[in-house]
Chain A
Amino acid sequence: MDNINKTGGLWNVVISLGATVMAVGLALVTGSITALAVAILMSLGFLVSVASLLHMHLVEREGQEDLEVSAIQTGRGGETLFKEGEVLPAKRSREQFERWGVPVVAILLLGLQGLGVYHLAANKLAVVYENLAAGKSVHLVSQMYLGLAGSALLAVILFVRGQFASNLARIQRDRLLQPASDSILFSAYLLFVLAAVMAVSFREQRIDAWVGTVMACLMAVLVLENLLSMIFEIYRPRVSGRKGRLLYQSRLVGLIAKPENLFTTAGKVLDYQFGFKVSETWGYQFLRERLGVLVGVQIIIFWLSTSVVIIEPSERGRKLDILAGSNSQAQWLDPGIHFKLPWPFADVERYHPDQVHSFYVGLEPDENADDSGARLWLKRAGKDYESLQKTGELYFPTGSGDESGAANLVVPSIPVHYRIYEVSPENRKNLENRKNLESGWLNFSDPEGVLKNLAYREVSRYFLGDTMGNLLRAGREQAIVEIKKNLQASVDVKGLGVEILYVGLADLRPPAESPSLVAAGGPNEKDEMDPGAERHSQIPVAMAFESYLIAGISKWKIEYLANSLKQQIESVQTNEVETILHNANMEAKAKIQMAEARMNSSRLQNNPFRNAPFIYPIWLQMRMFERSLTHARKFVVVVKNAEITSDIDLKETIRRGMLEVEVPDNK
């Protein structure tokens, strides 16, 4: 029969209940995610202690019943009275509780643990991490003093009670007292962690989210352990007289509550694996006894290491020493190794004044997007594109360039690169009249936010003064120069101590959406369009603007072709005119020359003609015949007074000129 300490179990329930109520109160007052996780885990511990007490009660009743049955059986007629054995109500109650009640408690624990994990992860941590990712300032913990004091006080109370109850259960071998005692001790450790979180929250609020995440993970592991335990319990062989494991008792909680058990378990495993008593060796015993010391020394070394500061080549450090008194000045640290008082007595803030920093005005590029393709205007791409489009933040108004039209809208993604002015001693002389990191940038609690707002202002201002048609075409280069110049002027006026290095307008595009798409609420809401609603154009604005640009190209092409044709016609015309005039001149010249030649010839032959009027004409005639008939085909017919019929074939056998073709010499 089990040893029962029902009073101890009752105390566990009362203390667990009180501590859980206080933990819930702390979670509500501080608003801390860690405190909420601790409260959930403690409420689970309370449930375990109640189940444990009930179990104790039933076992105790069974024990009393056994005693009564034994007393009756020793008396007269006892054997006949209980011979069937089914009239032991306390025993049956205990058996029924172990068969049905314990699994129900375990399932209830599983459900509560699952709900706790879901609530922490989905409702609390997700929101906090989203805000942290968005760069928003987060305020996670309130009433830190109350939280610190309350959690520390509770932790001490639970630690004392948990240690006592746990040792008592171990000494008395009270297996039913063990689960609740472990839970109380486990809760005490959780509250110590919560106290540490509260202390650190004075300086770093994000610690609450980080530790809260660890708590949620721990709870998820508990869910898994609980589930596995239930599955193993189903397949556990039932041996008569052998007590089963309590389903509501977590091994993980027990291990965390009493880590020394880990050494015992590990020792047994090592003994079994190596075949000799490893757990009795000097080394193992030293490790077991001095582990706490070793961990403590590690912590001290780690703490002392916070007094060493290494400033990287691109960094500037500002040392703030809280023990230096009222005359303390922030001390600037150059790149190299430096020493300071350990945390939390001194702190070093790091800055990167000479590095090029950048941010985007408008749409930020999506880092996860595939950049291999062309970045087309009709492609809706960019970080948080859909949400920005729905809120209208995506669009920057510009002038339309049309007297009768409304403003135009563009979607910019403008990278701005800047550099904070250096403060090193050698450069200080050159920067006497200019704000720098120390005199400008650090005067603002959020200098980068101020710079971003100024950049948005200058971009908005310039866009409103220009037109979309100009910005997307010829006016881009001028816009870059003007915006950069204006932004630098604004930054100088505000005294931020920053040099604007670059403003890029490469990714400036018209809206990729059609009016009907925007009216419908986005690409996913197409089916929900009201058929009776006002009809809007289904042409995307970017496409309409592209058609305008294409029209410009077409215009240029048409004009170019027309001008080319004109030039061609003019060229032909010039040639034709020149040819006509040249031919005319040649003809005229030939005419005159021919006439003059004839004149000269006539003049030269006049004398012989006069002197030999008979023979000279004949001579001329013969010469003419000689020259002209040399190559002519001639048939001479001299037959007279004869009956002869001659058939002369006047057809040429070969063109005569062909016979005059010169055959090239093979040599």
Chain B
Amino acid sequence: MKKTVNIIIFGLLLLIFGSYMFTFQVRQDQIAFVDTFGKTSEPIVTAGLKYKWPWPIQRVYTFDKRIHLKTTDYTQITTGQGSLIVQAYFCWRISNPGEFMKKAKGSTAEERRRNAEDNLEREIKDAISEVFGGEENVTDKLRVDDIIDGESGNPKGNTFEKLEGKILDLVKGAKSEQYGMELTFVGIRRVGISQNALVAVLDTMVTQWTNKAFSPVQEAENKAKSIRDRAINARETALKTARNEASRIISSASEKETKIFSQMEKKDARLAELLLKLSTMEKVLGKETTLLLDENVPFLEAFSPGFFTRVPVPDSDPESESDGEPESEK
């Protein structure tokens, strides 16, 4: 039993190590080269299990033929007093495997891929410097939004697409193909302010927003004062107009009243006078009145001595004169 298990384990280990030493795998998304004592084979592009002699007779280089991504470091472009940093990315794939294998340096596939990628990155960085470096007056003023704008209506007209297109045009073609690589696309990842210019930009921002903070309050206070003054003036004007109108209305009523009084006077002035006096007296003698009266007041004559001796004798039969009673008594 022990022997059998040992044999199985040994066999398995032999199988695993043997498979590593004598076989290699090429996946659908891979390209492989077999190097026999320094002589490189034709690229192997068909997927599957392949056989080889173990090292040091043969060595296998396997490359990924999918699209690769590389993000560049920040490239600083300096002109005049200002500077700008640009970070880009690019995607590439192996277009000519033989040329790629020949041009890329390294002892492993990974080292060769890195070497080729680094070569292309250098070309891209040069192109970035060339494309962005032409915008001299812009970096002097630190106006990033002047050099690039998301929309086409900016003063420079440099959209991301245009700048990326210029970089791609500079690198795509001969420069990338010499390494057996195809540059599929280039993108501007970030555009920023360099560390040197950062403090100046922040200073400007503080000044800009502090100034902007001051003016709205001042404007608002002026506007509020204007609103208040206008409202007060409008009120005074309206009241003046209303008072004038009231005077006019009362004057008009007085005129009518005068006309009425005139009619009354024409008709019977004495009666009108009497009624006016009585009315006025009735109003004046209100509730809060204290009167000191003597017997000479007409309706108090009864208190005077000899009043009853002076009672008049009726002249005629009152029954016959009933028509002469005041109308109100009726």
Per-position binary interface string of chain B over residues 130-172, scored 1 when its CB falls under 8 Å from any chain A CB and 0 otherwise: 0000000000011111001111001000001000000000000
Residue of chain B at shortest CB distance from A392: B195
Interface residue SS majority, chain A: helix
Enumerate chain B residues within 8 angstroms of A320, measured Cβ to Cβ. 27
Contact A562 to B224, CB < 8 A, known contacts A518-B199, A634-B293: yes
Residue B243 lies at the interface, judged by CB distance under 8 Å to chain A:
yes
Residue B230 lies at the interface, judged by CB distance under 8 Å to chain A:
yes
Which of A98-106, A368-376, A438-446, A523-531 interfaces with chain B?
A438-446
Q: Is the CB of B264 within 8 A of A588?
A: no
| Cα of A290 to Cα of B239 in the assembled complex, Å | 116
Q: How large is the interface on B (under 10, 10 to 19, 20 to 34, 35 or more residues)?
A: 35 or more
A81 to chain B, nearest CB (A): 63
Residue B272 lies at the interface, judged by CB distance under 8 Å to chain A:
yes
Enumerate chain A residues within 8 angstroms of B193, measured Cβ to Cβ. 392, 395, 397, 407, 409
Residue B42 lies at the interface, judged by CB distance under 8 Å to chain A:
no
B236 to chain A, nearest CB (A): 9
Enumerate chain B residues within 8 angstroms of A431, measured Cβ to Cβ. none
Which of A37-45, A260-268, A579-587 interfaces with chain B?
A579-587
Q: Is the CB of B69 within 8 A of A632?
A: no
Task: Return the contact of B12 from the options A300, A409, A547, A580 (Cβ within 8 A).
Answer: A300
Enumerate chain A residues within 8 angstroms of B311, measured Cβ to Cβ. none
Of residues 588 through 631 on chain A, the ones whose CB sits less than 8 Å from some CB of chain B are 588-589, 591-592, 594-596, 598-599, 601-612, 615-622, 624-625, 627-629, 631
Q: Is the CB of B2 within 8 A of A292?
A: yes
Q: Is the CB of B285 within 8 A of A604?
A: no
Q: Which of A328, A406, A449, A628 has the most CB of B within 10 A?
A: A406
Enumerate chain A residues within 8 angstroms of B216, measured Cβ to Cβ. 551-552, 554-555
Residue B174 lies at the interface, judged by CB distance under 8 Å to chain A:
no
Of residues 211 through 232 on chain B, the ones whose CB sits less than 8 Å from some CB of chain A are 212-217, 219-221, 223-225, 227-228, 230-232
Enumerate chain B residues within 8 angstroms of A634, measured Cβ to Cβ. 290-291, 293
Which of B96-104, B121-129, B298-306, B312-320 interfaces with chain A?
B298-306
Residue A650 lies at the interface, judged by CB distance under 8 Å to chain B:
yes
Per-position binary interface string of chain A over residues 552-578, scored 1 when its CB falls under 8 Å from any chain B CB and 0 otherwise: 101110110111011001101110110
Residue A550 lies at the interface, judged by CB distance under 8 Å to chain B:
yes
| Cα of A406 to Cα of B151 in the assembled complex, Å | 18
Of residues 117 through 164 on chain A, the ones whose CB sits less than 8 Å from some CB of chain B are 139, 142-143, 145-146, 149
Contact A142 to B108, CB < 8 A, known contacts A551-B216, A555-B217: yes
Which of A50-58, A167-175, A450-458 interfaces with chain B?
A450-458
| Cα of A609 to Cα of B282 in the assembled complex, Å | 19
Enumerate chain A residues within 8 angstroms of B67, measured Cβ to Cβ. 443-445, 450
B132 to chain A, nearest CB (A): 13
Per-position binary interface string of chain A over residues 314-358, scored 1 when its CB falls under 8 Å from any chain B CB and 0 otherwise: 000000101111111110000000000000110000000000000
Task: Return the contact of B230 from the options A402, A566, A598 (Cβ within 8 A).
Answer: A566
Q: Is the CB of B294 within 8 A of A293?
A: no
| Cα of A547 to Cα of B207 in the assembled complex, Å | 11
Contact A456 to B189, CB < 8 A, known contacts A565-B231, A580-B243, A602-B272: yes
B29 to chain A, nearest CB (A): 8
Q: Is the CB of B198 within 8 A of A445?
A: no
Residue of chain B at shortest CB distance from A448: B69
Residue of chain B at shortest CB distance from A624: B278
Residue A396 lies at the interface, judged by CB distance under 8 Å to chain B:
yes
Of residues 174 through 193 on chain B, the ones whose CB sits less than 8 Å from some CB of chain A are 185, 187-193
Enumerate chain B residues within 8 angstroms of A329, measured Cβ to Cβ. 28
Residue A460 lies at the interface, judged by CB distance under 8 Å to chain B:
yes
Per-position binary interface string of chain B over residues 240-252, scored 1 when its CB falls under 8 Å from any chain A CB and 0 otherwise: 0111011101101
Contact A513 to B239, CB < 8 A, known contacts A602-B267, A657-B287: no
Interface residue SS majority, chain B: helix
B207 to chain A, nearest CB (A): 7
| Cα of A258 to Cα of B125 in the assembled complex, Å | 59
B55 to chain A, nearest CB (A): 4
Q: Is the CB of B293 within 8 A of A637?
A: yes
Task: Return the contact of B201 from the options A202, A406, A444, A601 (Cβ within 8 A).
Answer: A406
Enumerate chain B residues within 8 angstroms of A445, measured Cβ to Cβ. 64, 66-69
Q: Is the CB of B205 within 8 A of A541?
A: yes
Q: Is the CB of B293 within 8 A of A589?
A: no
Contact A322 to B48, CB < 8 A, known contacts A297-B5, A398-B145: yes
Residue of chain A at shortest CB distance from B153: A465
A604 to chain B, nearest CB (A): 7
| Cα of A519 to Cα of B201 in the assembled complex, Å | 11
How many residues of chain A get a CB closer than 8 Å to chain B's CBs? 150
| Cα of A608 to Cα of B46 in the assembled complex, Å | 141
Enumerate chain A residues within 8 angstroms of B160, measured Cβ to Cβ. 457, 461
Enumerate chain A residues within 8 angstroms of B66, measured Cβ to Cβ. 442-445
Residue A391 lies at the interface, judged by CB distance under 8 Å to chain B:
yes
Residue of chain B at shortest CB distance from A300: B8
Q: Is the CB of B260 within 8 A of A592?
A: yes
Q: Is the CB of A392 within 8 A of B227?
A: no
Residue B38 lies at the interface, judged by CB distance under 8 Å to chain A:
no
Task: Return the contact of B278 from the options A442, A620, A650 (Cβ within 8 A).
Answer: A620
Residue A515 lies at the interface, judged by CB distance under 8 Å to chain B:
yes
| Cα of A73 to Cα of B19 in the assembled complex, Å | 71
Residue A501 lies at the interface, judged by CB distance under 8 Å to chain B:
no
Q: Is the CB of B12 within 8 A of A656?
A: no
Residue of chain B at shortest CB distance from A468: B205
Q: Is the CB of B47 within 8 A of A635?
A: no
Q: Is the CB of B205 within 8 A of A544?
A: yes
| Cα of A510 to Cα of B8 in the assembled complex, Å | 67
Q: Is the CB of B250 within 8 A of A536?
A: no
Residue B9 lies at the interface, judged by CB distance under 8 Å to chain A:
yes
Enumerate chain A residues within 8 angstroms of B202, measured Cβ to Cβ. 409, 511, 513-515, 518, 536-537, 541
Q: Is the CB of B69 within 8 A of A636?
A: no
A441 to chain B, nearest CB (A): 10
Contact A536 to B275, CB < 8 A, known contacts A551-B216, A562-B224: no
Residue A667 lies at the interface, judged by CB distance under 8 Å to chain B:
no
Per-position binary interface string of chain B over residues 18-59, scored 1 when its CB falls under 8 Å from any chain A CB and 0 otherwise: 011001010111000000000000000011110000111001
Enumerate chain A residues within 8 angstroms of B207, measured Cβ to Cβ. 537
Q: Is the CB of A330 within 8 A of B55?
A: no
Residue A428 lies at the interface, judged by CB distance under 8 Å to chain B:
no
| Cα of A596 to Cα of B256 in the assembled complex, Å | 9
Residue of chain A at shortest CB distance from B243: A580
A417 to chain B, nearest CB (A): 20
B62 to chain A, nearest CB (A): 10
- Contacts A/B (CB < 8 Å), 11 sampled: A300-B9, A395-B193, A402-B208, A406-B200, A408-B201, A409-B205, A511-B202, A555-B216, A602-B267, A627-B282, A631-B287
Q: A591-B257, A606-B267 given. 18 additional CB < 8 A pairs?
A: A142-B111, A292-B2, A444-B69, A454-B187, A457-B190, A536-B199, A559-B224, A563-B227, A566-B230, A595-B260, A598-B264, A598-B275, A599-B263, A603-B267, A606-B271, A607-B327, A619-B328, A634-B290
